[in-house]
Amino acid sequence: MTGEETFSQQAVISGSTIVIYWLPRDGSERMLYWAGTFDPPSTPGSYTWTSTNDRARTGSELLASTDEAKEFTYDGGAISYSVSALGETSTVALEQTSSTVPAGADASSPTPEVAGTAEVVESGFAQRGDFLWASAMVQYQGLTGEFATVLFNVYDSDGTILASEEQIEQLTTTGTTFPIGRQIKIPEGATAASITASVSASDYGSSVSPAPVLEPISAPATELRFLIQNPTGEDWANPRIAIVCRDSAGKISGGGYDFPNLIPAGGEFLVSDPHLMVTDDSETCQAYVQLGSGS
């Protein structure tokens, strides 16, 4: 916890990722500060690692750090790191408050059973130059408020791995099939031939209220216009719009994301110029809207 009067912070470490939230002391909704990589130590004791910012996760968050990387230190049961806000920089120290212990602890400790399921049912990609967009259709059930981590591996035609990247998303409904994707950099001049995608889910025992499941909106790849309508009496704050495109055979052929700040109650939002990476033979695209928990 920080020593400030107006907020504290909470960190969640799962596998190879660390996610940190601002926790306003007035009880209002938590806000994302950091999502990035976590490098487990090879030996017990104090250690330091550099976390790379997951810009796809933090880029649209108002109070998220803009640093490309951040140094974390674990020592004496606490994780410390620097935080800059309102022109001031201070050091935050967080201590473990749950049964999930930092990496490097007794590996014989039992792993809690996840109260739900998550699996990748389909994946695909599109390449443009030295970058590609990888998408995984994740089907999950009973994991409201938990976090899904999708690991993408990219291979060339010889089966040589070109790159590995992870993407973290919060699962806000009681269950659905939702695309999780990200941009991946591969070596200059390389050509990707295939990808694999696998998913793991956290088990922090979240008590957030589930968001409703919204039906995806379709549009031809040649005329990408998705009208997102909010017919409810509640504002939709920070919805995630994930777009998946498919070729004539129905295979995933690219995609992208959009992050509107707000779709007001009774209002609408037009996605007409999404930042997509798709193959030339893409025929149709679908926009999947996932609301924040409690929206």
Lowest-pLDDT range of 11-20, 144-153, 167-176, 191-200 = 11-20
What is the C-alpha to C-alpha distance for residues 224 and 56, in angstroms, rounded to an integer?
21
Both 135 and 229 in a single domain?
yes
Structural domain contains residue 166: yes
What sign has the CA pseudo-torsion 266, 271, 275, 278?
positive
Tokens representing 93 are 């120290």
Q: Average pLDDT in the 84-111 region? A: 60
Position 95 scores a pLDDT of 84
Q: Average pLDDT in the 145-153 region? A: 94
Q: Average pLDDT in the 219-247 region? A: 93
Average pLDDT of the chain is 86
Both 135 and 271 in a single domain?
yes
| Cβ–Cβ under 8 Å, residues 191 and 127 | yes
Both 22 and 165 in a single domain?
no
Position 113 scores a pLDDT of 45
What is the C-alpha to C-alpha distance for residues 57 and 13, in angstroms, rounded to an integer?
15
Both 276 and 203 in a single domain?
yes
Both 63 and 147 in a single domain?
no
Both 283 and 210 in a single domain?
yes
List Cα–Cα distances, 185 to 128, 160, 214, in angstroms. 10, 15, 31
Q: Taking 80 as the threshold, does the pLDDT of residue 115 lie above it?
A: no
Position 51 scores a pLDDT of 93
Lowest-pLDDT range of 25-39, 47-61, 141-155, 212-226 = 25-39
Q: Taking 80 as the threshold, does the pLDDT of residue 5 lie above it?
A: no
Position 125 scores a pLDDT of 97
Give the residue numbers spanning the domain of 172: 117-290
Position 89 scores a pLDDT of 82
Structural domain contains residue 125: yes
Lowest-pLDDT range of 152-156, 160-164, 177-181, 220-224 = 220-224
Q: Taking 50 as the threshold, does the pLDDT of residue 263 lie above it?
A: yes
Q: Position 53: which residue type?
A: N
Q: Is the pTM of this model over 0.75?
A: no
Three-state DSSP class for residue 55? helix
- The number of domains in the chain is 2
Structural domain contains residue 102: no
β-pairing, 161-170 vs 226-229, is unpaired
Considering 95, 126, 149, which residue would you say is the last residue of a domain?
A: 95
Position 8 scores a pLDDT of 83
Q: Average pLDDT in the 70-94 region? A: 85
What are the residues whose beta carbons fall under 8 Å from the beta carbon of 57, sequence distance 6 or more? Answer: 32, 35, 167, 168, 169
Q: Taking 70 as the threshold, does the pLDDT of residue 146 lie above it?
A: yes
Both 148 and 253 in a single domain?
yes
Q: Other CB atoms closer than 10 Å to residue 38's CB: what's the count?
A: 19
Name residue 147's beta-bridge partners. Answer: 170
Structural domain contains residue 33: yes
Structural domain contains residue 171: yes
Considering 63, 95, 127, which residue would you say is the last residue of a domain?
A: 95
Both 146 and 70 in a single domain?
no
Q: Name the residue with higher pLDDT: 23 or 281.
A: 281
Structural domain contains residue 101: no
Structural domain contains residue 283: yes
Given pLDDT bands bounded at 50, 70 and 90, which one contains residue 268?
A: very high
Position 109 scores a pLDDT of 35
Q: Other CB atoms closer than 10 Å to residue 43's CB: what's the count?
A: 7
Both 88 and 150 in a single domain?
no
β-pairing, 217-220 vs 131-141, is unpaired
Both 186 and 59 in a single domain?
no
Structural domain contains residue 105: no
What is the C-alpha to C-alpha distance for residues 261 and 255, in angstroms, rounded to an integer?
20
Position 17 scores a pLDDT of 87
Considering 95, 127, 144, which residue would you say is the last residue of a domain?
A: 95
Given pLDDT bands bounded at 50, 70 and 90, which one contains residue 218?
A: very high
Both 48 and 173 in a single domain?
no
Both 193 and 259 in a single domain?
yes
